[in-house]
Amino acid sequence: MLSYLLSRSHEPGRRPGKLVDPEPEERVGGLTIYRMDFGGGHSPQERRDTDFEPMLEPLPDASDHALAWLHFQGDVSAAQLTRLGKKYDLHPLALEDVLNRGQRPKIDVYRDTLFMTLALPHVVDHAIAIQQISLFIGPNYVLSFHAGRHDAFAAVRERIHAAHGRITYAESDYLGYCLADVVVDSGFVVLARYNDELDGLEETVFDDRSDDLVGAIHDIRRRLIGLRKVLLSQNEALMRLVGLEHRLIHADNRPYFRDMQDHAKRVLDLCDGYRDTAASLLDTHLSLASARMNDVMRVLTLIATVFMPLSFLVGVYGMNFDTKYVWNMPELSYRYGYPILLGVMIVAVIAMLIYFRRKRWL
Amino acid sequence: MLSYLLSRSHEPGRRPGKLVDPEPEERVGGLTIYRMDFGGGHSPQERRDTDFEPMLEPLPDASDHALAWLHFQGDVSAAQLTRLGKKYDLHPLALEDVLNRGQRPKIDVYRDTLFMTLALPHVVDHAIAIQQISLFIGPNYVLSFHAGRHDAFAAVRERIHAAHGRITYAESDYLGYCLADVVVDSGFVVLARYNDELDGLEETVFDDRSDDLVGAIHDIRRRLIGLRKVLLSQNEALMRLVGLEHRLIHADNRPYFRDMQDHAKRVLDLCDGYRDTAASLLDTHLSLASARMNDVMRVLTLIATVFMPLSFLVGVYGMNFDTKYVWNMPELSYRYGYPILLGVMIVAVIAMLIYFRRKRWL
Amino acid sequence: MLSYLLSRSHEPGRRPGKLVDPEPEERVGGLTIYRMDFGGGHSPQERRDTDFEPMLEPLPDASDHALAWLHFQGDVSAAQLTRLGKKYDLHPLALEDVLNRGQRPKIDVYRDTLFMTLALPHVVDHAIAIQQISLFIGPNYVLSFHAGRHDAFAAVRERIHAAHGRITYAESDYLGYCLADVVVDSGFVVLARYNDELDGLEETVFDDRSDDLVGAIHDIRRRLIGLRKVLLSQNEALMRLVGLEHRLIHADNRPYFRDMQDHAKRVLDLCDGYRDTAASLLDTHLSLASARMNDVMRVLTLIATVFMPLSFLVGVYGMNFDTKYVWNMPELSYRYGYPILLGVMIVAVIAMLIYFRRKRWL
Amino acid sequence: MLSYLLSRSHEPGRRPGKLVDPEPEERVGGLTIYRMDFGGGHSPQERRDTDFEPMLEPLPDASDHALAWLHFQGDVSAAQLTRLGKKYDLHPLALEDVLNRGQRPKIDVYRDTLFMTLALPHVVDHAIAIQQISLFIGPNYVLSFHAGRHDAFAAVRERIHAAHGRITYAESDYLGYCLADVVVDSGFVVLARYNDELDGLEETVFDDRSDDLVGAIHDIRRRLIGLRKVLLSQNEALMRLVGLEHRLIHADNRPYFRDMQDHAKRVLDLCDGYRDTAASLLDTHLSLASARMNDVMRVLTLIATVFMPLSFLVGVYGMNFDTKYVWNMPELSYRYGYPILLGVMIVAVIAMLIYFRRKRWL
Amino acid sequence: MLSYLLSRSHEPGRRPGKLVDPEPEERVGGLTIYRMDFGGGHSPQERRDTDFEPMLEPLPDASDHALAWLHFQGDVSAAQLTRLGKKYDLHPLALEDVLNRGQRPKIDVYRDTLFMTLALPHVVDHAIAIQQISLFIGPNYVLSFHAGRHDAFAAVRERIHAAHGRITYAESDYLGYCLADVVVDSGFVVLARYNDELDGLEETVFDDRSDDLVGAIHDIRRRLIGLRKVLLSQNEALMRLVGLEHRLIHADNRPYFRDMQDHAKRVLDLCDGYRDTAASLLDTHLSLASARMNDVMRVLTLIATVFMPLSFLVGVYGMNFDTKYVWNMPELSYRYGYPILLGVMIVAVIAMLIYFRRKRWL
């Protein structure tokens, strides 16, 4: 997760705002453009194409209350972004951030546009990845870029078609909110997976003793460390949005922004909590492992303490001293030497067991 | 506890403000509505019903200084909430938060209403659960929703009937405070349980060695991690309330809000303190376990160090070398071979004991 | 210490400001009232009684620059507080806080009075306890309540009698400061005890190996966790006092408030530092314990490594194979069999010792 | 890294602003001066020399929109700095900071100049070092000092020659930004190395058991602790720059500053994250080591538990009691004594294995 | 270090501002007074005496731009301070702080004077101690008090004599800055020692196994905990000074204050960093110790696992069963019994070694 923030960093000294195509291995593969035109009294129109140029036209009419939403799914090239930048008068630094994935989530305020980069946590092939979402919110257009393959915003297009609720007002800030809200709520989906993972680990921690557990806990911790950094920035960016005074932002939409930021904080709280839980889990695992080791050691000590003296005793009477001298092991020639020795050993064992019992080792 | 914040999350892309009934397994079962009408010179009237529509009437009269308090205990359906929203002109996002339990405690300020979600910690079947309380505070009404079964606000109804103290002024902000205060003070009840649990663990930690203890400490830590997140938000929300300038809030009631927030901070401090205590307890447990292991190892080492050399010695004289050669174990044929050997062994043991005593192992 | 914050919590739903006598087991036993009248050109007058009503009279005269200080040592009953509240026009919430001990230290500002609750750390029977001090500072009176038995403010009464320094101005805020200053400086006395305790533990940690040490460290940590929470609130309350603009507060007294808050911060810093020191001490204890265990294990391993092979060797020549066959242990019949074996064993031991020396185990 | 902040500290009592040449061992060796003149309608001119005085001339003309950038690579002497200070009217404290390397990154605002010290993380001979960059930003000049050997700003000179983009405006604040941006983005390069190091350690932690790993983790932690302190200050300084109102700062350049600070924050986040990852890695290593030890101990205990009783048994029948007495080891004379004993031993072993299996040690 | 904050605390209830001589054991021994008169067109004059009264005269003339600096090195008595307080109209609380050493570093602002207490870290007899420096900055005088023996400000007197740089302006705030700067920069000297200590420990941690190391790390941690608290307050006090608007503070001197605070922050950063490094060092030591223990245990287990079964085997053939029965150890009478047994044992050892190799214990 942390590597998300590292990916595709500037090389030091490169011209800011210089658009460079991502490396082939960083590409997602393919580009699909969705265009929705709605509001202004017309029924919503959806177009979908892989061809770039024709999708830009017609420019939405500023006087009309219509809104054009262009969504770029996949890899946009530097050339295409330059074209877009000219058409919509976008700041080159913002365009660069669209291309250089791995931005900290943030919001940049320009005179006529708002630019946001967000981090969409997403489950790809059973692993959790973070994908960058970039948003330009203009007076009569919204441009969104998703550096991933799955169609995250299908539900929003559905809602536009359904033409129900506030979205029909065709306000660009509300549409931007809808998209950002999808990103924020995806956090719950991903964190629910962490919840399940941790629950699973918690169950195994009390009966398992394999190394896998330690590896799994470390893995989950490391991922949560990274995810937390990203979510923290996302929360900060959204907090800034809530307090933002800008001509593009309608006062009536503020409660929605607040609600979204509230969700972002909740996601962050969950992430924090899971990180702490994982740490506590490792502590617990260590405690249990040490408790089990104590058990093992106790058994070893019991066995050794009982049998070493006994073995010594029987070893004594296995010596070959010449018994013709009366001082050399006269016990060997006693009539009841063997039973006496057995008796001594039994008494010794009983005494040791009582001692252990007192020490609470038994 | 943490899972409280996760429960019933939005699915990404759903229309904000869209009211969706909770899943059957999340329902509490049944709905009871309590209605209190008081103030305005009339004696307090209480009605209780499971039927929705008739309880809404009559609308409280704005000019009169009367107040209507509707309390919804249990599951409110999406349809009923829509109806309420229309009647009292409530914001759809707030209504959604009533339905989607697991909100972070917060306060949302609208022009004519205040909306609060609070988290009521409660002991259900010997386990501690968090239940959502939602409050709408309007000019002449208070709507409260409790997603649980026990009747948490009975004492407040009693106080209204008793018609004593400030509650008789029938101010909606004061009534809201009374309800929120119940929620905050419930924190003490729950934390007193944690106190008892920790005291119990503390006693066992000094004489117990079972794995249960580690599990219990992990469990309590995990729950306190979750509870803390919720209480932290609750405290923040109440701090916002204390500083809030709003036409619904009477200056004379501010000391009460301050007092409540003070309690919330105290609950949070306790929660923090217990979390630290639990961490310290685990450290202590680990230290004690390792001290006990040291004891065990010392005994093992003592035994082995004493008896291994002795066993070796007696083993030597158990060998069957042909003693007809004078170089082969002539000791065996000494007149006092055996007593000499015993003497050597006794001296060796004494020397070792002195060594151990010096090393402080005895 | 933490339990101080828990003690005597509201039961949820109780009427705020309702005065309830403390439970018998929470009572301190007895009530002594001290009254000092001074300033206004008169010489200081001290009265002491256990009787409540007569001590309230006469009311101090507002026009005169005189000040009446009533100090209630021990248990004040709900009825008495109600009486006081009426006489001095005190807010019911403040009165409730006097009765419900275990408040977070705080300062509440009313139009004509300041109300403070403070936490007095005190050594009772070799244990450290926290006792609540409550202060009402009015224009011409100061009411102080101490839920404990020892006479903490005797020195202040002495200073009034001595009629020396700023206290002779008979300003209620300065008297309040004097009382609060006693509370703050008591922190040093208590922390000096912790200092001694930690110094004592530090000495034993380097030569002791009993479980008591771990218990003692845990105990001190737990107490410091609780004390810290209380002192933190106290420091915050005093910081608020320093910045407070109120008609009762004279600008000339501000340096004294600042000085007091400075002491409170210093007490808090010390408390923090001791908590960290205790944590470091536990780490050290664990490290030393594990170092000692390493020593023990090394000895065990040395002994076992030396004597197990030797015992095996002598065991070999203790076997009873029929030596009439030339392949069966011909060594037994060698003329120098025994000396050769002894030589082999000595060489083996030397080799092992060299190996251990290289491994740095010796 | 931490030692960067310690290097070349003031000796207490030295006159502030007194310029003292660095100690010989702190010198980098040699001084190269680069001068770029550009803007004002002229094509960019680059000069490079090791001679000091001639490079200062001609003074850039204030009325013209031209900019002179002097870059001092290597060791500047106290005398040269004094000369510069007089020529450009620079504050003596700033000059002192140029000479006394190891400054916390910061920004100092003077009436006509901005002075920044930055910390350039750089890979020298496979080790990561921090080198100080100092910048004076004046109305028509930029002075930069780099206490290192590699030519960090070559790319910026290239961009000036290329005469493309905003840099052609020849604004001193934009040029300053370009230089600071190189410093900030160098952080990514260095952190990518830490990323690789940690990835490498993570792989070895799961199969390695050498001490080197612990040393490597400690080393990386220590370096990240130091780096973090420096990056934290750098981020703070840049945050101050973003919010700075100064006649030298053009509003149009603010988005660039914001973008740079964003990168600085991202670098800091990465650094934080790696520190946490390293801590988690050590925990994991410890857990794995303790798990492996448990395995070892279990084997030891198994072996000892199985063979000690058996050895005792066979020792018993190796005793030399006089078997002419019927009570002395009559088993020796049984016809099936040996097979019976073998049977008993086999049964005992099987019983113990079952016990261990139940205890989950096998 | 922490005990610095505890030393000489108020006894609760003492009159604030009451000057009490320090206990004999807290005295430094002797008092030397240095007086410098400079500025106002005169050449600097230095006087040094142990006699108090004559050094106070003549009072510096306010209209003249002259400055008198009185430095009190050692123990000032309560009586002398009272005398000073009257002569210079100093606040009694400030005087008390001069006498009661162990103040948190702070700055108190009075109408005509600034009062600062600072903590001077100093190496005395190879140990690091903190000594209090108190400063009164008035319009035409500076009073400084140093509760220690070494002459910390000699370099400042030299600079006054040298009559070079800003100090010749004879501004009291600049002189105060010079003195405080000496205190701040002394931090670097002391932290350089910690740096060396930690470097030394770091080297031993990788080859040492004595308990001393743990004690040394604990000791350094504890000292850094205390030092950090003091430096934190010092940094805060200086931050307040930087932002202070006061008639005694000249705008032109602000850059110097800023520079000093910057140094104080750097000292604090270093202190923080060393504390973290010490913690990391202890972790490393523990990891290494546990790794070494693992090695020891592995050897023990190897030896035991190899020799216990072998010893058992040879024990079997040392039994004395009556071999006249054919079932009793017929192996003893085999022609090749002994070689066969040796072969079996060699095969067993090889098998075990292969097993251990697979388990990576060899």
Task: Encode pLDDT of A131-173 as tens digits.
Answer: 999 999 999 999 999 988 889 999 999 989 988 888 888 899 9
Q: Do residues E257 and E325 both lie within one domain? A: no
Q: Which of A70, A72, A49 is nearest to A59 (CA)?
A: A70
Nearest CA-CA distance, residue E167 and chain D, Å: 9
Tokens for B330?
């002539």
DSSP state of B27: -
Tokens for C131?
């006792």
Hey, is E64 helix, strand or coil? coil
CATH number at residue A330: 1.20.58.340
Nearest CA-CA distance, residue A289 and chain B, Å: 10
Q: Do residues B222 and B303 both lie within one domain? A: no
Q: Do residues E183 and E263 both lie within one domain? A: yes
Is A185 within 8 Å of B9 when comparing Cβ atoms? yes
Whether C60 and C140 have beta carbons less than 8 Å apart is answered as yes
Rounded Cα–Cα distance for residues C258 and C242 (Å): 6
CA nearest to E226 within chain C: C273
Whether E108 and E94 have beta carbons less than 8 Å apart is answered as yes
Is E289 within 8 Å of C287 when comparing Cβ atoms? yes
**Which residues face E49 on adjacent strands?**
E33
Q: Do residues D123 and D161 both lie within one domain? A: yes
* Residue B9 predicted with pLDDT over 60: no
Whether D177 and D260 have beta carbons less than 8 Å apart is answered as yes
Whether A338 and D328 have beta carbons less than 8 Å apart is answered as yes
CA nearest to E355 within chain D: D299
- Helices then strands, counting H and E runs in chain A, come out as 9, 7
Q: Rounded to 10 degrees, what is the CA torsion of A270, A271, A276, A280?
A: 90
Is C273 within 8 Å of E297 when comparing Cβ atoms? no
Q: Do residues C228 and C311 both lie within one domain? A: no
Report pLDDT for D2: 73
Residue E322 is nearest to which of D297, D315, D333, comparing CB atoms? D333
**Which residues face B36 on adjacent strands?**
B46, B69
Mean pLDDT of C244-252: 91
Is E218 within 8 Å of C290 when comparing Cβ atoms? no
Is C255 within 8 Å of E110 when comparing Cβ atoms? yes
* Residue C9 predicted with pLDDT over 70: no
- C362 or E246: whose pLDDT is higher? E246
The 3-class SS string of chain B reads CHHHHHCCCCCCCCCCCCCCCCCHHHCCCCEEEEEEEEECCEEEEEEEECCCHHHHCCCCCCCCCEEEEEEEEECCCHHHHHHHHHHHCCCHHHHHHHHCCCCCCEEEECCCCEEEEEEEEEEECCEEEEEEEEEEECCCEEEEEECCCCCCCHHHHHHHHHCCHHHHHCCHHHHHHHHHHHHHHHHHHHHHHHHHHHHHHHHHHCCCCCHHHHHHHHHHHHHHHHHHHHHHHHHHHHHHHHCCCCCCCCHHHHHHHHHHHHHHHHHHHHHHHHHHHHHHHHHHHHHHHHHHHHHHHHHHHHHHHHHHHHHHHHHHCCCCCCCCCCCCCHHHHCCCHHHHHHHHHHHHHHHHHHHHHHCCCC
Query: What is the full per-residue pLDDT of chain E (362 aa) written as tens digits?
Result: 677 777 555 677 778 878 888 877 778 878 999 999 998 878 899 999 888 888 887 777 767 788 999 999 999 999 999 999 999 999 989 999 998 877 889 999 998 899 999 999 988 777 888 999 999 999 999 999 998 888 999 999 998 998 888 888 889 999 999 999 999 999 988 998 898 889 888 888 877 555 678 888 888 988 898 899 899 999 999 999 998 999 999 998 999 999 999 999 989 999 999 998 898 888 888 888 888 888 888 888 888 889 999 999 999 888 888 888 888 888 888 888 888 999 999 999 999 899 888 877 76
Domain boundary residue among C269, C287, C305? C287
* Residue A231 predicted with pLDDT over 90: yes
Element at C54 (helix H, strand E): helix C53-56
Chains C, E: CB pairs < 8 Å: 198
Is D314 within 8 Å of E309 when comparing Cβ atoms? no
B109-147 pLDDT per residue, tens: 998 899 999 999 988 777 888 999 999 999 999 999 998
CA nearest to A328 within chain B: B338
Residue A332 is nearest to which of D152, D155, D321, comparing CB atoms? D321
The neighbours of chain C, by the rule of 3 or more Cβ pairs under 8 Å, are B, E
CA nearest to C336 within chain B: B327
Rounded to the nearest integer, the mean pLDDT of chain D is 87
Q: Do residues E266 and E316 both lie within one domain? A: no
Rounded Cα–Cα distance for residues D152 and D149 (Å): 9
Domain boundary residue among C258, C287, C316? C287
Residue A320 is nearest to which of D263, D277, D320, comparing CB atoms? D320
Rounded Cα–Cα distance for residues E255 and B256 (Å): 48
Tokens for C303?
């002994």
Nearest CA-CA distance, residue B235 and chain A, Å: 15
Percent of chain C past pLDDT 70, that is, above it, reads: 97
Nearest CA-CA distance, residue C13 and chain E, Å: 40
- List the single range of A245-254, C13-22, D268-277, E93-102 with lowest mean pLDDT: C13-22
Which among E1, E4, E5 is the top mutation candidate for probing chain C, defined by the most C β-carbons within 10 Å of its own β-carbon? E5
Token pair 């707030």: residue: B94
Domain boundary residue among A271, A287, A303? A287
Contacts of C103 in chain B (CB under 8 A): 262, 266
Q: Which of E177, E143, E135 is nearest to E52 (CA)?
A: E143
Residue C6 is nearest to which of B255, B258, B270, comparing CB atoms? B270
Q: Residue E256 sits in which domain range?
A: 2-287
Contacts of B280 in chain C (CB under 8 A): 218, 221-222, 225
Is A304 within 8 Å of D309 when comparing Cβ atoms? no
Contacts of C154 in chain E (CB under 8 A): 13
The C-alpha angle with vertex A211 and arms to A206 and A212, in degrees rounded to 5, equals: 85
CA nearest to D362 within chain A: A209
* CB-based burial, D74-108: b 16+ in 10 Å, e otherwise: bbbebebbeebbeebebbbbbbbbbbbbbbbbbbb
* CB-based burial, C85-99: b 16+ in 10 Å, e otherwise: beebebbbbbbbbbb
Is B299 within 8 Å of A294 when comparing Cβ atoms? no
Q: Rounded to 10 degrees, what is the CA torsion of D7, D12, D16, D19?
A: -50
Is C282 within 8 Å of B281 when comparing Cβ atoms? no
Q: Do residues E267 and E191 both lie within one domain? A: yes
Element at C259 (helix H, strand E): helix C254-316
Rounded Cα–Cα distance for residues C211 and B293 (Å): 12
Q: What is each CA distance from B220 to A274, C352, D231, D320, E358, in whole angstroms?
A: 15, 51, 38, 62, 41
CATH number at residue C59: 3.30.460.20
Q: Do residues C264 and C339 both lie within one domain? A: no
Contacts of D321 in chain A (CB under 8 A): 317, 331-332, 337-338, 341
Q: Do residues D274 and D351 both lie within one domain? A: no
Contacts of E164 in chain D (CB under 8 A): 15
Report pLDDT for C10: 63
Report pLDDT for A5: 78
Q: Which of B280, A299, E233, B345 is nearest to C275 (CA)?
A: B280
Q: Which of D277, D200, D267, D268 is nearest to A1 (CA)?
A: D277
Token pair 């060695």: residue: B209
Is B304 within 8 Å of C300 when comparing Cβ atoms? yes
Q: In what order do the strands lie in the sheet with D141-146?
A: D42-49, D31-39, D66-74, D141-146, D127-137, D114-124, D106-109
Could you tell me the sign of the dihedral formed by the alpha carbons of C18, C21, C22, C27, in that order?
Answer: positive
- Structure confidence at residue C347 as a pLDDT band (50, 70, 90): very high
Is A322 within 8 Å of B337 when comparing Cβ atoms? yes
Is D303 within 8 Å of E298 when comparing Cβ atoms? no
DSSP state of D359: T
Report pLDDT for C163: 83
Q: Do residues C232 and C339 both lie within one domain? A: no
Quick one: how far is CA C319 from the chain centroid?
A: 69
CA nearest to D185 within chain A: A12
The neighbours of chain D, by the rule of 3 or more Cβ pairs under 8 Å, are A, E
Nearest CA-CA distance, residue C287 and chain E, Å: 6
Is D225 within 8 Å of E256 when comparing Cβ atoms? no
* Residue D233 predicted with pLDDT over 60: yes
Is A318 within 8 Å of D315 when comparing Cβ atoms? yes
The neighbours of chain E, by the rule of 3 or more Cβ pairs under 8 Å, are C, D
Mean pLDDT of A53-67: 80
Quick one: how far is CA C185 from the chain centroid?
A: 14
Chains D, E: CB pairs < 8 Å: 197
Rounded Cα–Cα distance for residues B220 and A64 (Å): 60
Chains A, B: CB pairs < 8 Å: 196
Is C318 within 8 Å of B322 when comparing Cβ atoms? no
ipTM: 0.79
Quick one: how far is CA B6 from the chain centroid?
A: 16
Report pLDDT for E34: 94
Q: Do residues A282 and A297 both lie within one domain? A: no
Rounded Cα–Cα distance for residues A99 and E110 (Å): 58
Tokens for C140?
């011409």
**How many domains does chain C contain in total?**
2
Q: Which of E253, E271, E12 is nearest to E121 (CA)?
A: E271
* Residue A208 predicted with pLDDT over 70: no
The C-alpha angle with vertex E275 and arms to E274 and E281, in degrees rounded to 5, equals: 85
Rounded Cα–Cα distance for residues D229 and D216 (Å): 20
Could you tell me the sign of the dihedral formed by the alpha carbons of C182, C186, C187, C188, in that order?
Answer: positive
Q: Do residues C202 and C228 both lie within one domain? A: yes
Contacts of C339 in chain B (CB under 8 A): 327
Nearest CA-CA distance, residue D123 and chain A, Å: 13
β-pairing verdict for A141-146 and A66-74? parallel
Rounded to the nearest integer, the mean pLDDT of chain C is 87
Which among C319, C356, C359, C361 is the top mutation candidate for probing chain E, defined by the most E β-carbons within 10 Å of its own β-carbon? C319
Contacts of B324 in chain A (CB under 8 A): none
Contacts of C318 in chain E (CB under 8 A): 314, 318
B297-316 pLDDT per residue, tens: 888 888 888 999 999 999 98
Is C262 within 8 Å of E16 when comparing Cβ atoms? no
The 3-class SS string of A293-340 reads HHHHHHHHHHHHHHHHHHHHHHHHCCCCCCCCCCCCCHHHHCCCHHHH
Is E13 within 8 Å of C182 when comparing Cβ atoms? yes
